[in-house]
Amino acid sequence: MKIALVVTEQNPRQLAEMTTFVDLSELESEACEIWRASGITENILMALETRYREAPQDMLLFASGIQGNELATRLATRLKGEACCGVIKGEFGTPQPQFTRPVYGNALVGTFSARGKPWCVSVARSSRSDVSSVTFPQVVLPVSAQPPAWLVAVKRLEEIPHPALNQARFVVVAGQGVASLQNMERVKELARQIGAETGASRQVVMNAWCEMESLIGMSGALIAPEVCIVAGVSGASAFNVGIRDSHLVIAINNDPDATIFNTADVIVVDEMMPVLEALAECFR
């Protein structure tokens, strides 16, 4: 099978996400090629179409996010293929491959069957960032620098990076159980004392107890620390996707039936603030 991994920016995140898809789908031994194309999405689309006509592929992979989804969908339409967005992995044992992707705000996983080629697939986000082992051949596509005549203005929105959280070995994540801005400030201080980064659930960010950059979950950072301490978080699926790659999850919650306990490795049924204070004291 011929597969093109379309990379549109320098950020290694894109290649890391697509390589995760390749690994999970057991496609490492297929003829994979990296197509680098940067510029305005409209012009990238034209460059991809031209390249595809010269070198047809069975599948084109795109990174997660708005641009990847747009490129996958629009290219599939132009090439009369099929598109699927936010895909975790594919199974290719049958003539009609099956693509697996989260649906309903990550509450369920759906399997979708594809028909006509090429399959244009944008992949799901992943916490992986290391691409040092990727050795696929690369082609740089010529992309026109001139915007199309109908495009009157282009505004580039800055991506909010989560470098510290993404690379942290230890993370303390606070949920709504933290109860106040003052307590959240204390959690940050305690996390700092034990050498951890601080993350937060959406409720905490929405209450303005913590900055947006600290959001963990499907709308925020996907983290993979060695130890993730999750305190006062209920464990909604949209949150859990953000911590699922953690090596060890320690959950603190005063509700013995909290959903987060279903996925945690260590559970502490107690008030979160005294437990975090005691933990920091142990470290001291």
Ligand X SMILES: Cc1cc2nc3c(=O)[nH]c(=O)nc-3n(C[C@H](O)[C@H](O)[C@H](O)COP(=O)(O)OP(=O)(O)OC[C@H]3O[C@@H](n4cnc5c(N)ncnc54)[C@H](O)[C@@H]3O)c2cc1C
Which residue is associated with the tokens 């001139």? 146
The CB-of-106 to ligand X minimum distance in angstroms stands at 7
Task: Confirm or reject binding of residue 281 to ligand X (CB under 6 A).
Answer: no
Q: Which of 104, 123, 229, 222 is nearest to 167 (CA)?
A: 222
Residues 243-272 that bind ligand X (CB under 6 A): 252-255, 258, 271-272
Cβ closer to ligand X: 114 or 174? 174
Of 238, 244, 261, 267, which one interacts with ligand X (CB under 6 A)? 238
Of 202, 223, 225, 279, which one interacts with ligand X (CB under 6 A)? 202
Cβ closer to ligand X: 68 or 242? 242
Q: Which residues of 272-284 are buried (b: 16+ CB within 10 A; e: fewer)?
A: bbebbeebbeeee
Task: Confirm or reject binding of residue 180 to ligand X (CB under 6 A).
Answer: no
The CB-of-139 to ligand X minimum distance in angstroms stands at 35
Is 94 exposed, middle or buried (CB count within 10 Å of its CB: 0-12, 13-18, 19+)?
exposed
Q: Which stretch binds ligand X (CB under 6 A): 58-66, 91-99, 153-161, 202-210?
A: 202-210
Task: Confirm or reject binding of residue 100 to ligand X (CB under 6 A).
Answer: no
CA distances from residue 74 to 37, 78, 85, 151, 236 in whole angstroms, order as listed: 16, 6, 12, 17, 33
Which residue is associated with the tokens 């915007």? 147
The CB-of-15 to ligand X minimum distance in angstroms stands at 24
Distance, CA of 178 to CA of 233 (rounded, Å):
9
Contacts with 6 (C-beta within 8 Å, 6 or more apart), sequence order: 35, 37, 48, 60, 61, 62, 63, 71
Pairing of strands 98-103, 197-200: unpaired
Task: Confirm or reject binding of residue 233 to ligand X (CB under 6 A).
Answer: yes
Binding pattern for the stretch 209-228 against ligand X, x by CB under 6 A and - elsewhere: ------xxxxxx--------
The H or E element containing residue 135 is none
The CB-of-41 to ligand X minimum distance in angstroms stands at 24
Cβ closer to ligand X: 90 or 242? 242
Beta-strand ranges (E) seen in 19-154 are 31-36, 59-62, 82-87, 89-91, 98-103, 108-113, 119-123, 138-140
Residues 103-122 that bind ligand X (CB under 6 A): 105
The CB-of-148 to ligand X minimum distance in angstroms stands at 33
| Contacts to ligand X by CB under 6 A | 105, 175-177, 201-204, 215-220, 232-234, 236, 238-239, 242, 252-255, 258, 271-272
